[in-house]
Amino acid sequence: MSDFEGLKALVTGGASGIGRATADLLAARGAQVAVLDLDPSSVDKPLLAYQADVTDDASVRAAVAAAATELGGLDVLINNAGIGAQGTVEDNDDEQWRRVLDVNVLGMVRTARAALPHLRESAHAAIVNTCSIAATAGLPQRALYSASKGAVLSLTLAMAADHVREGIRVNCVNPGTVDTPWVGRLLDAAPDPAAERAALQARQPTGRLVTAAEVAGAIAYLASPQSGATTGTALAVDGGMQGL
């Protein structure tokens, strides 16, 4: 498929997991793709790589401007960089709350702010935010993470309304448990990682974790001209965990 031929995309958190699978898929489907990441050292051609921290507005603006210049514009923004947090409201202090909201919510705001002037110039402008089933599922031990993704869901709906008349679509994906380096790190921290993985798989209605490629496929759909009439929606990619 070459449905992204001629389109220019920027993927935040694109060096690993869902972001990397998305960057690779968009490039394979014909897009010119730039990755923005804290550590883009693993990113190689044909992807362009920019080092930036989504909590640092100046570094985001510099990376987005450089990517738009190098690519010759921007049609697609994949707002994907994010970090996890575990615990109840009693387990995370204010500093932890500020840190996770800064990355997961404000990080997307900063990147969108920097990218919108470029997206307005595009005939196929789309933003896709990586949200989570945590936004709506009421998961235990995930108060802070869930609140951050709830904000991403609301932000997606509000931005869709704000920018639809400018020809910019805004959607999000809600993944379930995805087999990425992030989940690998959580499993490795368990006393018996293999047993923990088996238990995690057993909790999935499909008996397996979602793959990063499956989430990338959903993101690519929402970013592609094929979904040109779709904005302000959340697409669950959760192996039947929750749906919407």
Residues in contact with ligand NAD by CB under 6 A are 13, 15-19, 37-39, 53-55, 80-83, 103, 107, 130, 132, 175, 177-178, 180-183
Do 169 and 227 form a contact (C-beta atoms < 8 A)?
yes
**Cβ nearer to ligand NAD, comparing 68 with 183:** 183
Residue 69, phi then psi, degrees to nearest 5: -70, -50
Give the gyration radius of the chain's Cα atoms: 17
Q: How far is the CB of 127 from ligand NAD (least distance, A)?
A: 14
- Helix spans in 36-142 (H): 57-71, 94-101, 107-119, 134-137
Of 29 and 82, nearer to ligand NAD (C-beta) is 82
| CA 188/CA 207 separation, integer angstroms | 20
* Nearer to ligand NAD among residue 3 and residue 196 (C-beta): 196
Query: Minimal distance in Å, beta carbon 210 to ligand NAD?
Result: 7
Minimum CB separation from ligand NAD for residue 123, in Å?
28
Quick one: 124 or 142, whose CB is closer to ligand NAD?
A: 142
**How many other CB atoms are there within 10 angstroms of residue 117's CB atom?**
12
CA 208, 244, 153 angle in degrees (round to 5)?
A: 105
Contacts of residue 101, Cβ cutoff 8 Å, sequence gap at least 6 = 144, 147, 148, 151
Q: Count the Cβ atoms, other than its own, within 10 Å of residue 89.
A: 9
Nearer residue to ligand NAD within complex by CB, 22 or 32: 22
Q: Under a CB-based contact definition with an 8 Å cutoff, are residues 13 and 227 in contact?
A: no
User: Shortest approach of ligand NAD to residue 24 CB, angstroms?
Assistant: 13
Active site (annotated) includes residue 145: yes
For residue 229, count other CB atoms closer than 10 A to its CB. 6
* Residue from 34, 53, 81, 145 carrying the catalytic annotation: 145
CB of 230 to ligand NAD, least distance (A): 20
The residues annotated as belonging to the active site are 145
